A and B are shown apart, each in its own frame.
Chain A
Amino acid sequence: MEIILSAAIGILSASGIWLVLRPRSFQVVIGLCLLSYAVNLFIFSMGRLTPGAPPIMPKGGFIDPTLYADPLPQALVLTAIVISFATTALFLVVMIVSRGLTGTDHVDGKERSQ
């Protein structure tokens, strides 16, 4: 399971970094999305992998914490998802405006040959 998860994170971030370095703004947006998926999975994995364990403990009595998943990374991931979703949406709008103003989807607003 560790290998599958780390391979997923690795492949996502490698593709993301490659796309972010491309000159077309759409590729950059997709690259940032892939990178944020990789980062979200990474945050999640930092709470250790515990399949089938609930993150919320019942109230009262003695509780063995090893039977439960760490709830904090799950809360962090939620926050990170919301924030990166919102900022990526904003970036998309700016990208479309730039496309409209310059007539090209190059990140510098002009083709290299010009």
Chain B
Amino acid sequence: MISEHMIIAPILIPFVTGALMLLYDDRQQREAKFWLSIVSTAAQLLIAVELVVRAKTGGDISDAEGISFYLLGDWAAPYGIVLVLDRLAAMMLVLTALLAIPSLVYAHAAWDRQGPHYYSLFQFLLMGLNGAFLTGDVFNLFVFFEILLAASYGLLLHGSGQLRVRAGMHYIAINLAASLLFLIGVSLIYGVTGTLNMAHLANLIAQVSVEDRPLLHAGVAILAVAFLVKAGSWPLSFWLPTAYMAAAAPVGAMFAIMTKVGVYAILRLSMLLFGETGGASTGFGASVLIVLGMATVLFGLLGVLSSQGLGRMAAHSVLISSGTVLGITGFALAGGGPAMLSGALYYLIGSVLAAGALFLLIEPMNREDGGIAAMLALTADAYGLDDTDLDEVPDAGLDIPAMTVLSICFALCVLMLAGLPPLPGFIGKLAMVQALIAQTALPAGLAWAFIVLLIVSGFATLIGMARIGIQTFWASDIALPRVLALEITPVIGLLVILALTSLKAEAMLRYTTGTARALHDTEAYAYGVFATPRVADRSEDPAP
């Protein structure tokens, strides 16, 4: 009974926790709120791990493919909304929770004091993310996108200040426009097919008549533009570096996974609708995705090389990882095979965690520059904080080893993002390159161009980041920065997870290979949901 309802827990837990925390007083009971969010996020992590095990082995209520369906309100598909748990969704849930816990711990060092309702907004963001990964209905996906966006507006503005308000205004305007495109796309798809259930859509797509097909393609393309804005694909990504740089450090770390929601939606829908079962639509949009992916990698690469600050550089490295996965999605859609998609998914896990760690490192590394420290003091002023809070901060600092620890953490992040051994960036890129060389479905020139871009982007990241590292750690004559234990522990935690990802690379690659195969083989997803019995039917007729 309980295990059956576990699929919806990643949505309900943050929702209830976030709502509950609104009742707590923001200043007196901050400690209680912090522990409540930690407990809630840890529970989400445990459940996500349990769901991964279920998706991998095909638990008691799911079929052999490991896909479980959950009929909300016990309405039979396709009339009601369904939640779908498969390997990809389960993997993204774990990734979200793994990134959220360090970000929360880091925020507790200082940032949670800079504005109201930080923890509630954070939980609502998690709710939106988890919901977007789990849902099996296109309009429900829109609703969860709006939940996570609304929470992210609040989080981006957290701490206030002119820079953040300006970046926030651009971010909100872009996302409002993208949401409208989302709605147009969804309603066009509904107008042509008469359904919004993803599995049902996958069934119907081959039967759409010749006259209606261009309209359906237009709808999906408009929908894809909305996702590409979120994924930060060039040329829809100019808002991204400024917004990510302006966000408070723990929020920036969490935003590292926000671009991946867009990538996830594109991956899920394109494989489901335009995979091998797509009829005349098979492979629709593949070349566009490949070109946009390559352009995004190129834009991110140039951005990393030309950035002066670490914040802007980290934001551009997020673009590189988005572009890589987008491009590989295009290749997979064009018939490149599951091997390269498996490498891309593995790379996605590593790059999200490393980008998160890098965002958390920015602030301690630049503390003496005055930029962020001054901003902190300013926002503390604006929020009417008493000085006692700020005074007690330096006392808890680690003095001598801080620089060493910081520089080692930074170096590991750079190794990961540049794709050098032994961290997962290298293993993921290696898997992708091997698969790209081996594939025969596409012109070899295109595959080689992508390989070159992959390697050059790693090299550019290495050059750009090493420059910043030298400026900060070797060529600076300023006093040692003070670092709180609460600030450095989450970074070390993320790096330990990265090291484990590297050590367990074989098992994880086996999992992502299974995921990529399941994404190619859409039958289980498309037909499984209709085979799921309603609870009411089951109690009347226990025999299957």
Seen from chain A, the residues whose Cβ lies within 8 Å of a Cβ on chain B are 20, 25, 28, 32, 35-36, 39, 42-43, 46-47, 72-73, 76, 79-80, 83-84, 86-88, 90-91, 94-95, 97-98, 101-102, 107-109
A87→B187 contact, CB < 8 A: no
A83→B184 contact, CB < 8 A: no
B165→A97 contact, CB < 8 A: yes
| Distance (whole angstroms) from the CB of A101 to the closest CB of chain B | 5
B166: chain A residues at CB < 8 Å are 98, 102, 108-109
B187→A73 contact, CB < 8 A: yes
C-alpha gap A20/B175 in the complex (Å): 13
Count of residues in B whose CB is under 8 Å from the partner chain: 28
A107: chain B residues at CB < 8 Å are 169-170, 173
Q: A87-B146, A109-B162 are in contact. Are A73 and B169 (CB under 8 A)?
A: no
Q: Mask for B120-159, Cβ within 8 A of A = 1, else 0?
A: 0000000000000000000100010010011001000100
Number of A-B contacts (CB under 8 A): 83
A91: chain B residues at CB < 8 Å are 169, 172-173, 176
A interface secondary structure, majority: helix
B146: chain A residues at CB < 8 Å are 83, 87
B176: chain A residues at CB < 8 Å are 32, 84, 87-88, 91
C-alpha gap A72/B319 in the complex (Å): 37
B177: chain A residues at CB < 8 Å are 20, 32, 35
B173: chain A residues at CB < 8 Å are 20, 28, 32, 91, 107
C-alpha gap A105/B186 in the complex (Å): 34
A39: chain B residues at CB < 8 Å are 180, 183-184, 187
Interface residues of B in 154-203 (CB under 8 A from A): 157, 160, 162, 165-166, 168-170, 172-173, 176-177, 179-180, 183-184, 186-188, 190-191, 196
B190→A98 contact, CB < 8 A: no
A95→B169 contact, CB < 8 A: yes
A95: chain B residues at CB < 8 Å are 169
C-alpha gap A108/B139 in the complex (Å): 33
B139: chain A residues at CB < 8 Å are 76, 79
B183: chain A residues at CB < 8 Å are 39, 42-43, 80
A98: chain B residues at CB < 8 Å are 165-166, 169
B interface secondary structure, majority: helix
A47: chain B residues at CB < 8 Å are 190-191
C-alpha gap A80/B187 in the complex (Å): 11
Seen from chain B, the residues whose Cβ lies within 8 Å of a Cβ on chain A are 139, 143, 146, 149-150, 153, 157, 160, 162, 165-166, 168-170, 172-173, 176-177, 179-180, 183-184, 186-188, 190-191, 196
C-alpha gap A80/B170 in the complex (Å): 21
A87→B190 contact, CB < 8 A: no
- Selected contact of A79 from candidates B143, B160, B168, B180, CB within 8 Å: B143
B191→A46 contact, CB < 8 A: yes
B190→A94 contact, CB < 8 A: no
| Distance (whole angstroms) from the CB of A7 to the closest CB of chain B | 17
For B181, give the chain A residue with the smallest CB separation: A39
B187→A94 contact, CB < 8 A: no
C-alpha gap A110/B143 in the complex (Å): 34
- Selected contact of B162 from candidates A28, A86, A101, CB within 8 Å: A101
- Selected contact of A42 from candidates B157, B162, B184, B196, CB within 8 Å: B184
B186: chain A residues at CB < 8 Å are 43, 76
C-alpha gap A3/B157 in the complex (Å): 43
B165→A101 contact, CB < 8 A: yes
B187→A86 contact, CB < 8 A: no
B180→A35 contact, CB < 8 A: yes
A73: chain B residues at CB < 8 Å are 187, 190
| Distance (whole angstroms) from the CB of A82 to the closest CB of chain B | 10
For B160, give the chain A residue with the smallest CB separation: A97
B187→A46 contact, CB < 8 A: yes
| Distance (whole angstroms) from the CB of B326 to the closest CB of chain A | 26
C-alpha gap A42/B181 in the complex (Å): 11
A and B contact pairs by CB, cutoff 8 A, 9 listed: A25-B169, A35-B180, A39-B184, A43-B187, A87-B146, A90-B150, A91-B169, A91-B176, A95-B169
C-alpha gap A94/B243 in the complex (Å): 14
| Distance (whole angstroms) from the CB of B195 to the closest CB of chain A | 9
For A29, give the chain B residue with the smallest CB separation: B173
C-alpha gap A43/B179 in the complex (Å): 13
B150→A87 contact, CB < 8 A: yes
C-alpha gap A96/B499 in the complex (Å): 46
